Amino acid sequence: MSHSRLETLHFLKYLTFYVLDVSYNRLKIIDINQIYFRHGIYELTSMNLLNLSSNEMEFIKINWNNESPHTIDLSQNKLKSIELHGQSTYTLLLNENLNLSLTPITFNIDLPLLQYLDLNSIHIDSLENLIYLHNLSNIHTLLLNNNHLNKKYRTLNWHIFYPWHRTLTHLSLQNISLEKIDSGAYLNDYYHLLTINFYSNNHLICDCTLQPFINWLKTPPPSLIDFYEPLQKVLSINCPIKLFELNCNRGKTKSTLFLTFLIIGIFLIILLIIFILLYCYMKQKRSKSYRHMFTDNDLIALTEQNVIQRTDD
How far apart are alpha carbons 204 and 237 in whole angstroms?
9
Same domain, 246 and 283: no
Q: What is the pLDDT of residue 35?
A: 67
Backbone torsions φ then ψ of 245, nearest 5 degrees: -110, 5
How far apart are alpha carbons 187 and 168 in whole angstroms?
11
Whether 23 is in a domain gets the answer yes
Same domain, 203 and 276: no
Task: Please state, as a whole number, how many other Cβ atoms lie within 10 Å of the Cβ of residue 125.
Answer: 17
Same domain, 279 and 209: no
How far apart are alpha carbons 110 and 93 in whole angstroms?
15
Q: What is the pLDDT of residue 287?
A: 67
Q: How many structural domains comprise the chain? A: 2
Same domain, 131 and 67: yes
Q: Which helix (H) or strand (E) holds 118?
A: strand 116-118
Same domain, 246 and 262: no
Whether 3 is in a domain gets the answer no
How far apart are alpha carbons 130 and 117 in whole angstroms?
12
Same domain, 77 and 113: yes
Same domain, 260 and 145: no
Q: What one-character-per-residue DSSP string does 79-127 give?
A: -SEEEEE-SS--EEE--S-TT----TTTEEEE-TT--EEE-TTS--S-G
One digit per residue, the tens of pLDDT, for the chain of length 313 reads 666 666 677 666 666 678 889 899 888 988 887 665 555 444 555 678 999 999 999 999 999 887 889 999 999 999 999 999 998 899 999 999 999 999 999 999 999 999 999 999 999 999 999 999 999 999 999 999 999 999 999 999 999 999 999 999 999 999 999 999 998 889 999 989 999 999 999 999 998 899 999 999 999 887 766 555 678 899 999 988 777 777 776 555 566 777 888 888 898 899 888 888 887 878 777 665 555 554 555 545 555 555 455 555 5
Q: What is the pLDDT of residue 242?
A: 78
Contact assessment for residue 118 and residue 147, using Cβ atoms and an 8 Å cutoff: no
Q: What is the pLDDT of residue 101?
A: 96
From residue 206, alpha-carbon distances to 48, 187, 211, 237, 271 in Å are 43, 18, 9, 9, 43
Same domain, 268 and 248: no
Same domain, 121 and 229: yes
Same domain, 244 and 260: no
Range of 194's domain?
A: 10-252
Same domain, 222 and 277: no
State which of 224, 252, 280 marks the end of a domain. Answer: 252
Same domain, 219 and 277: no
State which of 221, 252, 283 marks the end of a domain. Answer: 252
Whether 90 is in a domain gets the answer yes
CATH number at residue 54: 3.80.10.10
